[in-house]
Amino acid sequence: MKKAVYIFVWIALLLAGLSSCKKIQESWGPDIVPGGLTIAIAYPQGYAGMPLNNFPVVIKSERSLRYDTLYTDASGKVVFPKLEKGNYIISTFRKFSESEMQLYTGVARVVAFNGGISSLQVQSSGTAATITLAAGSFGSFVFKQLYYSGSGTQGASTRDQFVEIYNNTPDTLYADSLYFGTLQGISSKYTDLNPATTPYILPDTRQFDWTKSLIPTGVPAPGADANTNFVYANNLFMVPGNGKTYPVAPGNSIIIAASAVNHKAPYIAANGSNITVANPDLTVDLSGADFEVYLRGLIPTPSPTDIDNPAPNLIMYKVTGTDLTLNLQRNGFVIFKTRENVAAWNSYPDPSSTRIISTTALYVQIPKKYIIDGVETQFATSTVISPSDLYPAKLSAEFDAGFAYTTGTNNSQALMRKTDSVTVNGRRVLRDTNNSTNDFELRPRAVPRGF
C-alpha cells in the first residue's frame, strides 16, 4: 500500500513540474518563435586553432529581465530553441590562462575573449547571428574603485568624486605620464534611438558615428577607422613626473581626486565662502589623495571650490565643466600610456553638431591601442538593471564586454573591483576579465583605498 502511495505522489509531483515548466514557457508571452535563435562565435584574425566550445552565451530580453545562458558546442554554435519575439542583448566571455595560450598560440599570456550584440531582433524562425570576439590582454594598472555617484546636498555634492587606480602586478610600476580620461558618447537610451532617422549614429551599436563629425580648421578628416580604432575624451588628464617620480608598489594604488581635501570638515573656497556639509558621514576624507585636478588659471571660470591643495596637480589636456566632474550615472573610464605628443592629437565635435563655432566642444581622439584599462558604467534605480534602460556603450568589447552601476545618484555608493586571489605575501590580485559586470561589486559607501 505504501508503494502505491509513493507512486501516486511521484506522479503528482511530475505532473506539477510539467505544469510549472509550461507556465515558465508561457511567461515569454504568446508570440513564440519556435525555430528559436542560433548564435555562432568567431575569433578575430590571428587566433586560428583556438577552441570554439564552452563559451557561455547569455541572452537578455529587452522587454523583461528574463535571461538565459547556454554553452557553445565544438563548432562554436549554440541554439536557443524557443524565444518570444522581440529584441535581445547577447554577450559572451571566456578567459584563457597563460598555459592555455602557450598551447594554442605559442605565446604565454592571459587573454580574455569578449563579444556581444547590443540589440538583435528576433521575429521569425531560424534567426541566426555571429559574434566576432574581441581579444583583451590584461593591463598593469587597473581601476580599483570608482566613486562618481556623489553624496548629495547633505554631503559634498560632486566635490568629493575620485577614482582609484591599482598596481595589479608583482612589480613596482610608475604612475608618471599615466593618462586618465572619461569618454564622450550618446546620451539617449539604446531603445530610443532610431538609426533610420538619426544619421549620425551607427546602426549596430547606436553610438556616435565619428566619421561624420565636422572637421575643425587645420585638422584632418577623422578617417575611416574613426569608430574602430579610437575613442573620444571629454575629460583628459596626465600624472606629472620624470618617469621615476611616483612609484606604485605591487598591490598599492593611487587616488585621483577632484579636490584633495577632507570633505567631512569645513574649508574656505576660493571666493572666501565657508564650505560645510550637513552630514559628514555621507562623504569622504580625500586629504590623503595622491593627485588632484586644479584648474584655476587654466580655464576661464573654475569652480569656487576648486582650491589648490598639497596633492600634486594633474596636467590638463581636456576638461568638460568647471572642475573634474564625473557623470552621476553613465561614464566610460580609461587609463593609458603613450610616448606620443598627446597635445598634438586631433579633436572633433561630436557628430550631432551641425556647425563649429567658438563655443563648440571638441573631444580628443585617443587611439585604442594605448588603452591599459577601461570601465563602462550604466544607470539603475535598483540592484537589477533593466535592459531597456541601457545606453549605447562608449567602450568596445575588448575593453569592457559588460558594465557596472550604482543604484541611483547622490547616495555615496561606489564601485569596487573584486579580489580574484591573494598571493602568499598578502598582495591582492584583482579580478580583470575585461567585463565590469563580472569584475566590480557595489559598495554602499566610498572608502578611499578600500583595503
> CA-to-CA distance for 351 and 136, rounded, in angstroms?
28
Residue 136's identity, in one-letter code, is G
Residue 443 has a pLDDT of 97
> CA-to-CA distance for 59 and 312, rounded, in angstroms?
46
For residue 149, give the C-alpha cell.
555617484
Return the exposure string of 364-390: e unless at least 16 CB atoms fall within 10 Å of the residue's CB, then b.
bbbebeebbbbbbbbbbeeeebebbeb
For residue 126, give the C-alpha cell.
531560424
Residue 147 has a pLDDT of 98
Residue 137 has a pLDDT of 61
Does pTM top 0.85 for this prediction?
no
pLDDT band at 59 (very low <50, low <70, confident <90, very high): confident
> CA-to-CA distance for 351 and 214, rounded, in angstroms?
7
pLDDT digits (tens, 9 = 90+) for 370-401: 999 999 999 998 888 887 889 999 998 888 88
Which one, of 89, 107, 88, 90, lies nearest residue 99 by Cα?
107
pLDDT digits (tens, 9 = 90+) for 60-91: 876 665 678 899 999 999 999 888 888 888 88
Other C-beta atoms closer than 10 Å to the C-beta of 271 total: 9
Q: Is the distance from CB of 169 to CB of 235 less than 8 angstroms?
A: no
Domain ranges of the chain: 1-26, 31-137, 139-192+230-451
> CA-to-CA distance for 341 and 343, rounded, in angstroms?
5
> CA-to-CA distance for 360 and 412, rounded, in angstroms?
33
Q: Is the distance from CB of 408 to CB of 152 less than 8 angstroms?
A: no
Q: How many CA atoms lie within 13 A of 409 on its CB side?
A: 12
Which one, of 378, 447, 442, 439, lies nearest residue 95 by Cα?
439
Residue 30 has a pLDDT of 58
Instruction: Tell me how far the alpha carbon of residue 44 is from its chain's centroid.
Output: 22
Candidate CATH numbers 3.30.420.40, 1.20.1250.20, 2.60.40.1120, 1.20.1730.10; the one for domain 31-137 = 2.60.40.1120
Query: What's the distance, Cα to Cα, between the start and end of the chain in Å?
Result: 63
CA distances from residue 164 to 237, 278, 323 in whole angstroms, order as listed: 14, 26, 18
Q: Is the pLDDT score of 6 beyond 60?
A: no
Residue 139 has a pLDDT of 61
pLDDT digits (tens, 9 = 90+) for 99-157: 898 999 888 777 888 888 867 888 888 899 999 888 866 668 999 999 999 999 999 99
In 325-368, beta strands by DSSP E: 331-336, 347-348, 363-367
Residue for grid cell 568596445: 396
Q: Is the distance from CB of 409 to CB of 150 less than 8 angstroms?
A: yes
CA distances from residue 322 to 272, 294, 363 in whole angstroms, order as listed: 17, 10, 16
Which residues touch 137 (CB under 8 Å, ≥6 apart)?
A: 109, 110, 111, 112
Residue 88's identity, in one-letter code, is Y
Backbone angles phi, psi at 83, to 5 degrees: -135, 150
Q: Is the distance from CB of 234 to CB of 183 less than 8 angstroms?
A: yes
pLDDT band at 33 (very low <50, low <70, confident <90, very high): confident
